[in-house]
Amino acid sequence: MKRFAVICSALLFVGSLAAAMLELAPAAIDLRGPVAAHLAASGVSHPVTAVLLNYRGYDTLLEIAVLLLALLAILAVVGEPGAARPAPAHPVLQTLARLATPLMIVVAVYLLWAGAFRPGGAFQAGAVLAAAGVLLHLAGLLPGWQTPRLRLRLGLAGGFALFLAVAGGLLAQGTLLQYPPALAGGLILLIESGLTLSLALTLAGLFLFLSRDEVAP
């Protein structure tokens, strides 16, 4: 009975939402014009990167904080570290992982650099680096992470701290995260580099901290 009611209401919801979308009037506010008009002053030439790190930089700042918070919550939840190294995988997979990891690092650096003028940027680069870490772990080459020591903690929090420091420094001229146009490109690249490193460590940590007690009963 519950199943029937839920499915019926879901279908009704899709139907009404689809009808509304088909009838939807054009948006009253169009932000494409302003984004394109100020692109020259934003320091980058790709509009998505400009929105992420310049026009709405505080969204990205808080997003990193959310990611860090999630990692801290996971560290608080997972149990005592057990024997962390997974069983070594097949030699072919191990060799492939060893070959793929340097390539993935190169791809990550390229994505970071390309973010200024084409699709790419810190998030994509960080995700590729984190995927390299997860791949190494699954191939049995990288043990799951124990409770982080100082160096790893600095790496995890560094991107957020760097972003916050830039935001605080720019507060001196009145507005949070309003880059001077002459410095914007350099500042964005600096922030994105820090973000890439921290994002890669955080995203890999989401997996590697969780898998550390895999072997424990």
- Residues that bind another protein in the complex, under the rule CB under 8 A: 2-3, 6-7, 10-11, 13-14, 17-18, 21-22, 24, 26-27, 30-32, 35, 47-48, 50-52, 55-56, 59-60, 63, 66-67, 69-71, 73-74, 77-79, 123, 199, 203, 206-207, 210
Q: How far is the CB of 99 from another protein (least distance, A)?
A: 27
Beta carbon nearer to another protein, 35 or 96: 35
- Local structure of residue 217 (DSSP, 8 states): -
Cβ distance to another protein smaller for residue 55 or 113: 55
- Find the shortest distance in angstroms from Cβ 23 to another protein: 11
**Shortest CB 134 distance to another protein, Å:** 12
Contact 90, 160 (CB under 8 A): no
- Cβ-based nearer residue to another protein, 48 or 141: 48
Q: State in Å, rounded, how far the first CA of the chain is from the last one.
A: 40
Cβ-based neighbours of 67, under 8 Å, separated by 6 or more: 199, 202, 203
For the CB of residue 92, give the shortest distance to another protein in the complex, in Å: 29
Closest CA to 188 of 65, 61, 67: 61
Nearer to another protein among residue 102 and residue 214 (C-beta) = 214
Query: For residues 58 and 110, which CB has a smaller minimum distance to another protein in the complex?
Result: 58
**Alpha carbons 132 and 92: distance in angstroms, whole number:** 16
Q: How far is CA 16 from CA 3, 135, 137, in A?
A: 20, 43, 46
Smallest gap from residue 1 Cβ to another protein (A): 12
Q: How many Å apart are CA 127 and CA 179, to the nearest integer? A: 26
**Radius of gyration from C-alpha coordinates of the chain:** 22
